[in-house]
Chain A
Amino acid sequence: MTELNGGLTDEMLMAYADGEASPEEAAAVEAALESDPAIAERVLMFQDTRALAQTAFAPEPVPDALKASVEAMIARHGSAAAPAAQDNTVPADDAAAEGNVVAFRPRRTSAAPARGQVFMAMAASVLGLAIGVGAFFAGSEFGGSPPATGPATGGVGQLASLPIGEGLRAPSGETVALGDGGVMRAITTFRNASGDLCRDFEVETDESVTGVACHRGGAWQVDFAVAQAVDPGGYAPASGAEALDAYLSTIDAGAPLGAAEEKAALDALR
């Protein structure tokens, strides 16, 4: 079952997904993720099977008879081995759970890549998608330079020439005309892990673009934008909505603000 993809074996891709790859292997996999959707898909498969298996078997409540039997067994051993310490051998679920037991269960998966990261790498290679677009919008006018980096082609690239700042000040759900028949709609308002006010939005012109803009340093910055896959018949491993979900999970997006909170937060920017 080992297959070679430019020197990468299935086991290496799995080890990467599980956070067990060496730094060299992880770097090789990450480089391949961005250029080969098949590799990213394989890593996602390994991540998904782990996640599914984890949730498939929740521990069940232990039958009283079994618990009582083990407790009796422990008491017998305790009284035989250390009569003076018998009290300590009486089961103490809470103490065990909060005390030394925890120390024996070190979490090991911190090195495992988040599913969103892998997904984003793949999305970047198959969709018109740009992360860290670098387009600044001050006030209602586009006030920065066009994106210098990133595959900002087609639908994503058009953001730089559209007056989306106005739409970013409108209440969520309200449609704002962009001229030339294009419209834009902010969907929700939330805060990212850094506390920046952010909004996810849709722009519809000839194409549909979904994006996330955050307000930093007195201006809106588009941090993420993805054009919907335009060829419905073709190979489409990712949709814009999935990519957005994945992105939101990577920035630790908070819950959407309510209408009143949103208004207060937006007013505060003026």
Chain B
Amino acid sequence: MSAQDDTIGPMLIAFLPTMRRFALSLARQHDVADDLVQSACERALLNAGSFQPGTRFDAWMFRIIRNLWIDRIRRTNTQAAAPVEEADAVVGTDGVAVATSRLELSDTAQAIHQLPDEQREVLTLVCVEGLSYAEAAGVMGVPVGTVMSRLARARTKLAALLAEKGISVGAARSSPTRGSRS
């Protein structure tokens, strides 16, 4: 094992909230998200040597979480039907049920949850987690151009969904996307 084990441990703890947020954006259920995070931490500790110093630790973890999530979808193939937050409780490793809060989603969060999976993912990575286009492309395993076109579509769609809720985005007061002038 490399000396990086010493640093990865504390970083895993420090980034737990961020990892959990990303996992939740994929899984949309607290119990599944926590399970993903736990598995991802295990995998990160086993593969500590593959983390490249000088790169973003969170991006590395997001990639691990994403890969675990895709594995899980392939195995169960039930994710698409999963409603937002069915479970009220998480069973901890000690077997004790821990009450967790239901997802209380703001209008914006609800709109983001309505986006197609691939759009929600890229929006989360870039706009919520603050990854660059290139970093997001690395997490998703797609070209930067794909990140950009998906992200532009995601934000256009988000603005339209928010406009339906009466939340104007951009400076337009009357029109959600562009004025009547050309």
Report if A149 contacts B (CB, 8 A).
no
| CB–CB B14/A97 < 8 A | yes
Chain A contacts for B106, CB-based, 8 A: 56
In the complex, which range does the number of interface residues on chain A fall in? Answer: 35 or more
Q: Bits for A1-29, please: 1 = Cβ < 8 Å to B, else 0.
A: 11000000011001100101000000000
Closest to B181 in A: A235
Most chain B beta carbons < 10 A, residue from A2, A52, A106: A52
Given contacts A1-B152, A60-B20, A95-B10, contact A237 B172 (CB under 8 A): yes
Query: What is the bound-complex CA distance between A71 and B137, given in angstroms?
Result: 30
Chain A at the B interface: SS class: helix
Chain B contacts for A119, CB-based, 8 A: 171
Report if A110 contacts B (CB, 8 A).
no
Chain B contacts for A53, CB-based, 8 A: 108, 112, 123-124, 127-128, 158
Report if B42 contacts A (CB, 8 A).
yes
Please give the distance in Å from B134's CB to the nearest CB on chain A. 9
Please give the distance in Å from A182's CB to the nearest CB on chain B. 28
Chain B contacts for A235, CB-based, 8 A: 174, 179-181
| CB–CB A69/B38 < 8 A | yes
Please give the distance in Å from B66's CB to the nearest CB on chain A. 16
Closest to A45 in B: B170
Closest to B105 in A: A56
Please give the distance in Å from A48's CB to the nearest CB on chain B. 4
Q: Bits for A87-131, please: 1 = Cβ < 8 Å to B, else 0.
A: 011111101110011001110110000000001001000000000
| CB–CB B179/A15 < 8 A | no
Report if A85 contacts B (CB, 8 A).
yes
Binds B, one of A74-82, A189-197, A261-269: A74-82
Most chain A beta carbons < 10 A, residue from B1, B9, B169, B174: B9
Given contacts A56-B109, A88-B6, contact A63 B100 (CB under 8 A): yes
From B9, B128, B178, contact of A78 by CB (8 A): B9
Report if B58 contacts A (CB, 8 A).
yes
Binds B, one of A33-41, A159-167, A210-218, A249-257: A33-41
Query: What is the bound-complex CA distance between A254 and B137, given in angstroms?
Result: 40
Given contacts A11-B148, A92-B10, contact A49 B155 (CB under 8 A): yes
Query: What is the bound-complex CA distance between A105 and B171, given in angstroms?
Result: 31
Please give the distance in Å from B171's CB to the nearest CB on chain A. 5
| CB–CB A237/B41 < 8 A | no
Q: Bits for B37-63, please: 1 = Cβ < 8 Å to A, else 0.
A: 110011001100000000111100000
Report if A59 contacts B (CB, 8 A).
yes
Query: What is the bound-complex CA distance between A139 and B159, given in angstroms?
Result: 49
Report if B32 contacts A (CB, 8 A).
no
| CB–CB B148/A237 < 8 A | no
Chain A contacts for B171, CB-based, 8 A: 40-41, 44, 119, 122, 237-238, 242
B residues adjacent to A (C-beta < 8 A): 1, 3, 5-18, 20-21, 24-25, 34, 37-38, 41-42, 45-46, 55-58, 90, 92-94, 96, 98, 100-101, 105-106, 108-109, 112, 123-124, 126-128, 130, 132-133, 148-149, 151-153, 155-156, 158-159, 162, 169-174, 177-182
Q: Which 9 A-B pairs have the closest CB atoms?
A: A65-B92, A59-B17, A96-B10, A81-B1, A45-B170, A74-B9, A96-B14, A53-B127, A56-B108
